[in-house]
A and B are shown apart, each in its own frame.
Chain A
Amino acid sequence: MDTPFIPGPQQRKAQAIFSQAIEILITAVVKAMGYSAIVFVIMIFYFLMSEGIAAVGEVPLSVLFSARWYPIEGYYGILPLIGGSLLVTVGATLFAVPIGLATAIYISEIAPRWMREVLKPIIEILAGLPSVVLGFIGIIALAPQLRVLLDLPTGLTALAGSILLGLIAIPTIVSVAEDALDSVPRSYRDAALAIGATRWQTIMRVTLPAARSGVLTGVMLGVGRAIGETMTVMMVTGNAPVMVRSLSAILMPTRTMTATIAAEMGEVAKGSVHYHVLFLIGVILFLISLIVNIIASAMVFRVKKRAERILS
């Protein structure tokens, strides 16, 4: 009754075929999962396009590319919104990249081990802060302070949005860049130090260039996070659709594409012109983040090729 089952040659063959079938099946499933991401992106883009493209026919291009956004009376100028989004994102990048990179370098290269164990979780907590909480802090604490400090008419400005979006982007930049720096082989640093380079020279000339592709990915992911963020900017930037004409616009209220969609999508009747224009803004937002991603991967690719050339 308890005698172990000994497979004969026939069974062994059947078993081999069976496990091969399983193998093929699993490969197919995994492949389908992998492709599903592409399918989802294409489906989302198709949906955005199908709802948004109608706006191009309904609204004359001269109106679409004008400077007035006042949808309840048929003024659909999207230039102030694009300008607002770019302004806030560039501001956030300028704020987040130096701080994020410096933090990553400190954690990976300089900080003692115990400090590292403390810093990393704290930065991850910052990443977990809900954006509405950040926005709330922005309204209550940051905006009034900015107004008094910089003697502005109001604190609800693109600058307030940039700072808070920077805070949102920093954890992404730090954790991806830190991982990249950390994976640079120890021998690189040892070699640099052995030929007499200082610690600073080692970081700037050896470690950082070697980790460049990972660092760039971190920066781009951070920028991507910032450009798509909605709640915080809606709460602190004042939402005034002002045309961005100079750099001083950073000290004025502005209205981003994301905040516009969030604030107005609820009000529109399905299928109206306004509804289509909001989807068109979604398409533009999608294209902008696509371009950011393409630039990022192109840069990473080029850097890699150069690194391979040097090493060979």
Chain B
Amino acid sequence: MLKTRHWIILILVGLLITACVPSSPSADTPVGDTANAQIEVKGSDTMVNLALAWAEAYQKENGNISISITGGGSGTGIAALLNNTVDIANASRRIKQEEIDQALSLGIEPYELIVASDAIAVIVNTSNPINHLTLQQVSDIYQGKYSNWQELGGEDRPIVRVSRETNSGTHVYFLETVLRLSNPENKSFFDPTTLLLPSSEGIIAEVRDNPNAIGYDGLGYVTPEVKVLGIKTNPESPIVFPSIDSVTQGTYAIARDLYVYTNGEPQDAIKAYLAWILSPAGQSIITDLGFVAITP
């Protein structure tokens, strides 16, 4: 008998508690709204902050649209698009031919759109006396041809190479453009001792704390706690530091486009969203975050 009474009390308390919880905000949205849409975006970690800023501004203007953003890397985003689990894949590199083939075999037609540009900064610890390197030197460092900063005119310290994981578009771009100097015949690799860190924050943290380290990251992620190196395309060319201006003028060597991919030509809500991203409203957000807008 006592047990039953306990149960009743429990249920009553439970009801009281649930009654106190405010009803979920989704109940407030007017019924019968036609353009309620949910857009799933996944991909490049470089673009995550940008995508979040876009989504936030766009949702403020269009209350009936909800956009969810996740990172994970460009490869992850494209894989998700191939597995048909997202509407938009962000990528900081162009989709590979194998991925296109795979997509077609899975019945997905990747549709490409360039939404912004980005400079990749080569960074070292603030105590490193080196201020600039040539593209060739950066390539040789990452291939393991240099092992001590002394060989490059720095202090007598071992070089610790820091990179993003292989699922990062930044990793692939850096491999193709810097390590292999944009030469498709070149089959050099990252030195196997290169640290592969899972996040941009991890790279910044290691370079900030370790005077031996050299790393690279999207300009939007670089903090004042690390030193950005100037890059010379050739030994004779001028030293160029990454900035919005040097990318727009095309003088900085390590700059790339940022892409979004959809399955087939975008329709309805996704189409409107992407059009807004390319509009002045969307592009002005890009500059605020340290990326480079594409529409002049």
Say yes or no: A263 contacts B206, CB within 8 Å.
Answer: no
Q: Does A154 contact B (CB under 8 A)?
A: yes
Q: Are B167 and A266 in contact (CB under 8 A)?
A: yes
Instruction: Determine if B189 is an interface residue (Cβ-Cβ < 8 Å).
Output: yes
Q: Determine whether the beta carbon of A253 is less than 8 Å from that of B193.
A: yes
> Are A154 and B213 touching (Cβ within 8 A)?
yes
B196 touches A239 (CB 8 A): yes
The distance from the CB of B193 to the nearest CB of chain A, in whole angstroms, is 5
Type the 1/0 row for B153-167, where 1 means its CB is closer than 8 Å to any CB of A. Answer: 000011110000111
Which A residues are CB-close (under 8 A) to B73?
266-267
Tell me whether B202 is interfacial, beta carbon within 8 Å: yes
Number of interface residues of A (CB under 8 A): 34
Q: How far is the CB of A68 from chain B (nearest CB, A)?
A: 7
Partner of A238, one of B172, B189, B196: B196
Contact B102 A156 (CB under 8 A): no
Q: Which of A237-275 contact B (CB under 8 A)?
A: 238-243, 252-253, 255, 263-264, 266-270, 272
CB distance from B195 to the nearest CB of A (A): 4
Cβ of A224 under 8 Å from chain B: no
Q: Is A147 an interface residue (CB 8 A)?
A: yes
Chain B residues with CB under 8 Å of A68's CB are 189, 192
Interface contact A267-B76, CB-CB below 8 Å:
yes
A38 in the interface, Cβ–Cβ < 8 Å?
no
Residues of B within 8 A of A267 (CB): 72-73, 75-76, 79, 166-167
Out of A143, A234, A243, name the residue touching B192 (CB < 8 Å): A243
The reply to whether B209 and A239 form a contact with Cβ atoms under 8 Å apart is: no
Number of contact residues on B: which range applies?
20 to 34
Chain B residues contacting A80 (CB-CB under 8 Å) are 192
Q: Chain A 272-304, CB within 8 Å of chain B: the 1/0 string?
A: 100000000000000000000000000000000
Question: Digit string of A63-93 for contact with B (CB within 8 Å is 1, else 0)?
Answer: 0000010111100000010000000000000
Determine the chain B residues whose CB is within 8 A of the CB of A253 once the complex forms. 193, 195
- Are B167 and A238 within 8 A (Cβ)? no
Q: Are B99 and A269 in contact (CB under 8 A)?
A: yes
- Kindly identify, within residues 173 to 221 of chain A, every residue whose CB is under 8 Å from any CB belonging to chain B: none
**Chain B residue nearest in CB terms to A239:** B196
A129 to B93, CA, bound (A): 38
**Seed contacts A235-B202, A270-B83; 17 additional CB < 8 Å A-B pairs:** A140-B205, A144-B210, A153-B159, A153-B212, A235-B198, A238-B195, A239-B195, A240-B193, A240-B194, A264-B167, A266-B76, A266-B167, A267-B73, A267-B76, A267-B79, A267-B167, A269-B99
* B residues in contact (CB < 8 Å) with A: 72-73, 75-76, 79, 82-83, 99, 102, 106, 157-160, 165-167, 172, 189-190, 192-198, 202, 205-206, 209-210, 212-213
